[in-house]
Amino acid sequence: MFKVGIIGDEASQDFQIVVDLAVEFNLDSIEIRSVWDKAPQELTDQDIVKMKQILDSTDVRVIGVASPFYKCDIDNAKERKEHLNILKRCIKLAKAFDVNLIRTFVFLEDR
């Protein structure tokens, strides 16, 4: 059977509202793309603790992290290096939620 979820920021930037909607509509999971107007790599350890507290009283879980990793110019060495730090932070976030899915990009086309 398929599990049904939501990309959280499609509903709200407020994680409590997202979780409440998931519970109301019997959704299994939430993919994190942004929360509280922060990209996943910007979420602090305190944010993660708060998110876990919100999830604790439910059966809803985080299913993945929708990162902006490599949403950059392939020919720009500085941007590529910065994006490695984004990936590291997103890996930390994924580990915090025991998630093995991090969505990434394959660079942007020439602008």
User: What's the CATH number where 39 sits?
Assistant: 3.20.20.150
Q: In terms of DSSP bridges, do strands 102-103 and 5-7 run parallel, antiparallel, or are they unpaired?
A: unpaired
Residue 17 lies in a domain: yes
Residue 110 lies in a domain: no
Residue 33 lies in a domain: yes
How many independent structural domains does the chain possess?
1
Residue 66 lies in a domain: yes
CA distance 80 to 78: 5
CA distance 86 to 104: 11
What is the band of 111 on the pLDDT scale with cuts at 50, 70, 90?
A: low
CA angle 91, 93, 99 (to 5 degrees): 75
Residue 109 lies in a domain: no
pTM above 0.85, yes or no: yes
Mean pLDDT of 17-41: 97
> For the chain, what's the residue count?
111
Write the burial class of residue 10 (CB in 10 Å: 0-12 exposed, 13-18 middle, 19+ buried).
exposed
Residue 28 lies in a domain: yes
Residue 56 lies in a domain: yes
Residue 111 lies in a domain: no
Mean pLDDT of 90-95: 97
Mean pLDDT of 62-71: 94
pLDDT of residue 110: 67
What is the band of 81 on the pLDDT scale with cuts at 50, 70, 90?
A: very high
* Domain ranges, residue 39: 5-103
pLDDT of residue 33: 96
